[in-house]
């Protein structure tokens, strides 16, 4: 191995570990706070006695509704993700694999891309006004549907890439075999993009689960999701660092599980042997 | 068994006309090969017959019935794709019977046909495997099986052998032709490989730029090419094409100093492209009036043949010598050597240098 290649490899390692450090160290610090007394957090002690009191306060105190907030998060994320994935998969099949006129296809994809590029905060004000006007502000419907609207472009592009990864000739073979468009979707496309759907589901779920801006604007105390609840621990006269950290730790768990599950589903594995 | 007829079929992609109006008839039971370089429109034409491409003008008939607007699945045709296009999530058996299931064929009939096809292809023990667990040759068989179980009137093949290695390809070629003879269906076979076309097809349709250059049996196409493109495309190594004056002086016909007989009189006094295949040039050690001097540039020994590439006064030519029958020439000849060549006159083909059309005596 030449010196140049070795130094390139060292540089790449430094870069990757450096990046990992920037992300992981603050996270670890926050998570460690979940097991510290408030005085140790404020004084910045690295090693300190371990306590479960933050979790007790968070889950069982009368003032805290964190369990309920977690359930809200789960309900909103599961519902909105399910809707997004169903629409995105069907739309990706239609736009990517059927004969759709260009004047239909490109405006839809262009608008989706544009929508994806604009910051969420530019829209939340309008959404607040719209949902309030029809009396649905603070309901699950408003948060779920807004999450659907917000995450659909991402879902659509993800599913389109999986749909495009399927060889064109498979669909032509299906046409020769007598499939209608819907049979082509259910019997050929759907089984083949299932892996992609799981990957997309994991991603969309995490986006919905961790959303703050939309939930902050559109939820009421009854429908409040976990990220918003965590933020309420920072109050005017008291910042409850310990409970915030404990809440963060608890809300990371579902996302972490999904990432580990979703990672395994890579569409190529399933596709092996389709062509050539 | 069915006759496939194309009348004035035309296809454009946007403004680009890939198939100018074309007429073609494939008689019932015939094995026809569509051959041409890439971009010649052969695959497009096949997909037009299949119904996978819409056409801008013309009509397609199967046994006299107009199928121009008929769905691909209702044309009673089966297609074998270049990539095989097997359904990766289905087993071999499921892949093969998918079309029958979609049609609602009786399950006992499906089972009977599946068993027969698996047996015919020697794939019975693989029925429950998925395509991903098969070799390239086995996948190709599944793709064939998928077409066979449908018992279609017309088989369409889109370069089905191009993903196989050379050895398997040669064996599959014979099998495929035997299968065609056994089933008796009409077959349209697309390939860019002239050997495949020559060995398998009853007739060859040679395409270039979407236009039919010639239709004929392999022998006709090889021996009587109608134009320069056909002559050059078929044959390996390529036919030698020499440009020069066919001069007529004092009643004697010469081409670049080489005397020729009167049989080529038709083109006398004009510039021509003279085509002669490598196997129709004889090589001699000594000079003679009807021989050109030939300086050897390279010797290519392929085992059963040896090819000499070198210069003549009329241009560069490739010629074939038969190592078993050449008085030891193939083993002794070296680059730089001076030899002499003689063209076998009855095999000379003359073409109009401007239009490329063949000049005949008649």
Per-residue pLDDT of chain B (362 residues; tens, 9 = 90+): 799 999 999 999 888 889 999 999 999 999 999 999 988 999 999 999 999 999 999 999 999 999 999 999 999 999 999 999 999 999 999 999 999 999 999 999 999 999 999 998 889 999 999 999 999 899 999 999 999 999 999 999 999 998 888 888 888 898 889 989 988 889 999 999 998 999 999 999 999 988 999 999 999 999 999 999 999 999 889 999 999 988 887 777 888 888 887 777 777 888 899 999 999 999 988 888 889 999 999 998 887 888 999 999 889 999 998 877 777 777 788 889 999 999 998 899 999 999 999 988 65
Q: In angstroms, what CA-CA distances link B170 with B43, B159, B193, B222?
A: 22, 14, 12, 20
Rounded-to-integer distance, Cα B336 and Cα B105, Å: 70
Q: How far is B331 from chain A (nearest CA, A)?
A: 42
The tokens describing B167, both together, are 């050895």
| DSSP state at residue B62 | E
Please tell me the predicted confidence (pLDDT) of residue A264.
66
Residues B77, B156: contact at Cβ < 8 Å? yes
| DSSP state at residue A136 | -
Looking at this predicted complex, what is its ipTM?
0.83
Please tell me the predicted confidence (pLDDT) of residue A265.
60
Q: How far is A86 from chain B (nearest CA, A)?
A: 21
Rounded-to-integer distance, Cα B319 and Cα B314, Å: 14
Neighboring chain A residues of B155 at a CB cutoff of 8 Å: none
Please tell me the predicted confidence (pLDDT) of residue A275.
47
Please tell me the predicted confidence (pLDDT) of residue A215.
94
Identify the three-state secondary structure at position A63: coil
Neighboring chain B residues of A184 at a CB cutoff of 8 Å: none
Any CB–CB contact under 8 A between B78 and chain A?
Answer: yes
Rounded-to-integer distance, Cα A34 and Cα A151, Å: 31
Any CB–CB contact under 8 A between A197 and chain B?
Answer: no
- Interior angle at CA B227, CA B224 and CA B233, nearest 5: 85
Query: For chain A, which ranges sit under pLDDT 50?
Result: 266-276
Q: How far is B52 from chain A (nearest CA, A)?
A: 7
Best of B71, B72, B135 to mutate (most A CBs within 10 Å, chain A): B72
Helix H or strand E segment including B312: strand B306-312
- Residue B152 contacts by C-beta under 8 Å, 6 or more apart in sequence? B76, B77, B78, B185
Any CB–CB contact under 8 A between B87 and chain A?
Answer: yes
Residue of A nearest to B85 (CA): A170
Please tell me the predicted confidence (pLDDT) of residue A268.
45
Q: How far is A185 from chain B (nearest CA, A)?
A: 13
């Amino acid at each position: 191995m030449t010196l140049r290649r070795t130094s390139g490899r060292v540089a790449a390692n430094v870069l990757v570990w450096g990046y990992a450090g920037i992300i992981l160290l603050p996270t670890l610090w926050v998570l460690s706070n979940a097991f510290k007394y408030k005085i140790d957090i404020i004084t910045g002690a690295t090693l300190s006695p371990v306590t479960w009191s933050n979790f007790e306060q968070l889950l069982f105190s009368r003032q805290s509704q964190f369990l309920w907030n977690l359930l809200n998060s789960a309900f909103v994320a599961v519902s909105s993700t399910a809707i997004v994935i169903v629409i995105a998969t069907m739309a990706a099949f239609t736009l990517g694999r059927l004969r759709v006129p260009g004047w239909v296809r490109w405006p839809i994809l262009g608008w989706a891309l544009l929508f994806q590029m604009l910051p969420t905060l530019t829209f939340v004000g309008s959404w607040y006004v719209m949902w309030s006007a029809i009396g649905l502000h603070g309901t699950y419907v408003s948060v779920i549907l807004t999450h659907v609207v917000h995450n659909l472009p991402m879902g659509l592009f993800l599913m389109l890439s999986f749909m495009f990864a399927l060889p064109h000739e498979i669909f032509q073979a299906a046409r020769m075999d007598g499939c209608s468009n819907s049979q082509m979707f259910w019997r050929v496309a759907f089984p083949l993009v299932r892996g992609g759907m799981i990957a997309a589901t994991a991603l969309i779920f995490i986006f919905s689960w961790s959303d703050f801006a939309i939930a902050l604007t559109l939820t009421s105390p009854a429908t409040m999701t976990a990220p918003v609840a965590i933020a309420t621990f920072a109050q005017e006269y008291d910042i409850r660092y310990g409970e915030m950290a404990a809440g963060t730790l608890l809300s990371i768990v579902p996302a972490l599980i999904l990432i580990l599950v979703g990672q395994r589903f890579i569409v190529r594995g399933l596709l092996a042997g389709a062509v050539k | 068994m069915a006759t496939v007829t194309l009348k004035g079929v035309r296809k454009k992609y946007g403004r680009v006309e890939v198939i100018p109006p074309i007429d073609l008839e494939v008689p019932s039971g015939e094995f026809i090969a569509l051959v041409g370089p890439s971009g010649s429109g052969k695959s497009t034409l096949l997909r037009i017959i299949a119904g996978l491409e819409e056409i801008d003008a013309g009509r397609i008939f199967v046994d006299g019935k107009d199928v121009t607007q008929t769905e691909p699945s209702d044309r009673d045709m089966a297609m074998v794709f270049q990539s095989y296009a097997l359904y990766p999530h289905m087993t071999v058996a499921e892949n093969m019977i998918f079309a029958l299931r979609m049609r609602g064929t009786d399950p006992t009939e499906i089972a009977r046909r599946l068993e027969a096809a698996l047996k015919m292809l020697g794939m019975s023990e693989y029925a429950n495997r998925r395509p991903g667990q098969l070799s390239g040759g086995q996948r190709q068989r599944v793709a064939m099986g998928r077409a066979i179980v449908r018992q279609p009137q017309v088989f369409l093949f889109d370069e089905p052998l191009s993903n196989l290695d050379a050895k398997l390809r040669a064996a599959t070629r014979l099998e495929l032709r035997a299968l065609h003879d056994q089933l008796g269906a009409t077959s349209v076979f697309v390939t860019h490989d002239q050997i495949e076309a020559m060995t398998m097809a009853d007739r060859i349709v040679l395409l270039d730029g979407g236009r039919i250059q010639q239709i004929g049996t392999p022998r006709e196409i090889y021996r009587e090419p109608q134009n320069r493109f056909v002559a050059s495309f078929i044959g390996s190594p390529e036919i030698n094409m020499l440009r020069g004056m066919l001069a007529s002086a004092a009643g004697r016909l010469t081409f670049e100093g080489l005397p020729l007989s009167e049989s080529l009189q038709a083109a006398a006094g004009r510039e021509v492209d003279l085509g002669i295949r490598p196997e129709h040039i004889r090589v001699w050690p000594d000079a003679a009036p009807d021989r050109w001097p030939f300086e050897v540039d390279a010797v290519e020994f392929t085992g059963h043949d040896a090819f000499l590439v070198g210069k003549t006064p009329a241009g560069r030519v490739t010629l074939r010598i038969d190592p078993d029958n050449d008085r030891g020439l193939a083993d002794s000849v070296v680059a730089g050597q001076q030899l002499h060549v003689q063209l076998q006159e009855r095999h000379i083909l003359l073409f109009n240098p401007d239009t490329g059309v063949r000049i005949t005596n008649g």
